[in-house]
């Protein structure tokens, strides 16, 4: 993997397994089944980069986002932020990390406490971080300026239900920015918004990231959307990375058979589009019992004997582009 020159976040062999309810037979046999939400993921996120993590439900993308923010602990592997292992953080260092790494919630309609005024919602992270109250008003105003919510006074004493979806998403962003973080993780940040509003939020996120020099991870199921946000995309399938590379390369010349199916499945706003059958078999298998070798093999139209016995490692196929497949599909 071509490691970014200056990595802010480094993941090495990160795994997260969630225990699931055991059947009687499993109890008797002393087995402890687990969902392997994430299974040995390694990559770096360069400082100032925008990275998309794309995949379908159950691929582990949301778990990965939570691990990056130290909201859950990995079962195995290490995650380092700015050179320091997250697992070892405590006390002041942990507080500093919490200030620097922020989450942007998926659904702006759920992300804010309905009984808090907009001011209180945006100022709350300051309170939690122990920032002196005399600074709050200025910092809230600054965050509002960044998200282009003009005439601040109009909003501060209002409640979430009095705002439109687009305004709410700006407030949610302001809340994430009020501590001037360096690292942002956004889980499906615009999936709940209407199309005409969504475009505005996307360009705002791009602008903020450039202006503040933020490193950002966008988690999404929507390849068509991340294309407008991130230069780099990581594609996940059943807890593993199958492809990692420049977004435009991935969208235009996908190399992994799964990415190919994913790209082919996205409809486009044009009546003359391909309606050819998707190059994929069946549906996502049970994450408690994934296939041996390549996890995609039982759905892959190109699978052969080696795929069942040998897990394909990520290997370079181009500039900053890696693929986990035994075949070389060009």
Partner 1 sequence: MSVPAILEVDNLQIHYRTREGVARAVDGASFSVPEGKIVGLVGESGCGKTTAVRAIMGVLAENGSRAGGRVVFQGKPIDAGNTRPLLWREIAYVPQSAMSSLDPVYTVGEQIVEVLTKRGGAARSAARARSAELFDLVGLSERRLADYPHQFSGGMRQRAAIAMALALEPSLLLADEPVTALDVIVQRQILDTLRELQQRLRLSMVMVTHDISVVAYLCDEIVVMYAGQVVESGPVREVLARPRHPYTMGLRNAFPDLVSDAMELVPIDGSPPDLRETLTGCRFAPRCPFVETACLSHALAPVTTGGHLSACRRDGEADALRAAALRPSTWLRP
* CA 27 – CA 14 distance, rounded (Å): 28
Q: Give the residue among 255, 207, 258, 259 at the shortest CA–CA distance from 50.
A: 207
Using rule CB under 8 A, residue 57 touches partner 1: yes
* CA 215 – CA 296 distance, rounded (Å): 30
Q: What is the DSSP string of 254-283?
A: --SHHHHHHHHHS--S-SS---PPPS--S-
Span of 33-41, 68-76, 91-99, 196-204 interacting with partner 1 by CB under 8 A: 196-204
Binding mask 260-299 for partner 1 (x = CB under 8 A): -xxx-xxxxxxxxx-x-xx-x--xx---------------
In the numeric block, which tokens belong to residue 201? 């939020």
H helices then E strands: how many in the chain?
13, 12
Q: Under rule CB under 8 A, which residues in 228-267 are in contact with partner 1? A: 228, 251, 261-263, 265-267
- Output the smallest distance, CB 174 to partner 1, in A: 18
* CA 222 – CA 233 distance, rounded (Å): 11
- Output the smallest distance, CB 56 to partner 1, in A: 4
Q: Under rule CB under 8 A, which residues in 6-35 are in contact with partner 1? A: none
Q: Where are the beta strands (DSSP E) in the chain?
A: 7-19, 34-46, 50-54, 76-81, 84-85, 101-104, 183-187, 215-220, 232-237, 240-246, 315-318, 321-323
- Output the smallest distance, CB 83 to partner 1, in A: 33
Q: Out of 12, 22, 40, 56, name the contact with partner 1 by CB under 8 A.
A: 56
- Output the smallest distance, CB 314 to partner 1, in A: 22
Binding mask 136-175 for partner 1 (x = CB under 8 A): ----------------------------xxx---------
Q: Under rule CB under 8 A, which residues in 72-91 are in contact with partner 1? A: none
Binding site for partner 1 (CB under 8 A): 56-57, 164-166, 194-200, 202-203, 221-225, 227-228, 251, 261-263, 265-273, 275, 277-278, 280, 283-284
């Amino acid at each position: 993997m071509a490691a970014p020159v200056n990595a802010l976040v480094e993941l090495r062999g990160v795994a997260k397994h969630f225990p699931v309810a055991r059947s009687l037979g499993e109890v008797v046999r002393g087995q402890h089944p687990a969902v392997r939400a994430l299974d040995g993921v390694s990559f770096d996120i360069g400082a100032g980069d925008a990275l998309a993590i794309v995949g379908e439900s159950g691929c582990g993308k949301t778990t990965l986002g939570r691990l990056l923010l130290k909201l859950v602990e990995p079962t195995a592997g290490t995650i380092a932020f700015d050179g320091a292992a997250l697992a070892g953080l405590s006390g002041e260092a942990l507080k500093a990390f919490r200030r620097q790494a922020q989450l942007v919630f998926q659904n702006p309609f759920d992300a804010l406490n309905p009984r808090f005024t907009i001011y209180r919602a945006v100022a709350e992270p300051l309170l939690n971080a122990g920032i002196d109250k005399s600074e709050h008003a200025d910092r809230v105003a600054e965050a509002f300026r960044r998200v282009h919510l003009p005439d601040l006074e109009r909003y501060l004493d209002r409640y979430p239900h009095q705002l439109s979806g687009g305004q709410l998403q700006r407030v949610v962003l302001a809340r994430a920015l009020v501590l001037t973080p360096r690292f942002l993780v956004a889980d499906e940040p615009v999936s709940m918004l209407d199309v005409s509003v969504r475009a505005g939020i996307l360009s705002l996120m791009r602008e903020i990231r450039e202006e503040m020099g933020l490193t950002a991870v966008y988690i999404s199921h929507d390849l068509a959307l991340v294309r407008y946000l991130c230069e780099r995309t990581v594609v996940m399938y059943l807890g593993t990375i199958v492809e990692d590379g420049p977004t435009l390369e991935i969208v235009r010349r996908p190399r992994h058979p799964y990415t190919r199916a994913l790209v082919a499945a996205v409809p486009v706003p044009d009546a003359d589009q391909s309606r050819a059958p998707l190059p994929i078999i069946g549906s996502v298998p049970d994450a408690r019992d994934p296939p041996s070798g390549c996890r995609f093999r039982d759905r892959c139209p190109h699978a052969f004997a080696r795929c069942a016995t040998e897990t394909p490692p990520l290997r370079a196929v181009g500039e900053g582009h890696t693929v986990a497949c035994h075949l070389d599909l060009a």
